[in-house]
Amino acid sequence: MNINKSFKMIKLDVSSLPAPEPMTKIIQSLALLTKQQFLQVHHRREPFPLYEKLTTAGWQYCCQQQTEESFIIYIYQRPMHQQVMSLMANS
């Protein structure tokens, strides 16, 4: 799904994986992202241990709780911030 001409969202569903597989999948996906891509993760819980390291590694993130057991986390680079915010506002 294109947010604008340049940025592309990569979807990743880790909601049915046992710990610690969700984090493995997220890191593997982040390693494969190009500068024009960002990640949308569907998780069963809020992955708190991931957050601080994401910030240290220069990533930005946003989490949207849909239900008690459904969280959408966007992980992106700083230039994509506005696009991700507008995507969240529209969802």
Q: Which residues form the interface with another protein (CB under 8 A)?
A: 16-20, 23-24, 27-28, 30-31, 44-46, 48-57, 59-63, 68-69
Q: Helices 21-32 and 48-56 sit at what angle, rounded to 10 degrees? A: 30
Q: What share of the chain is helix, strand, coil (3-state, %, to 5)?
A: 35, 30, 30
**Comparison of 11 and 45: residue with beta carbon closer to another protein:** 45
**Comparison of 56 and 90: residue with beta carbon closer to another protein:** 56
Quote the least distance from Cβ 1 to another protein, whole Å. Answer: 22
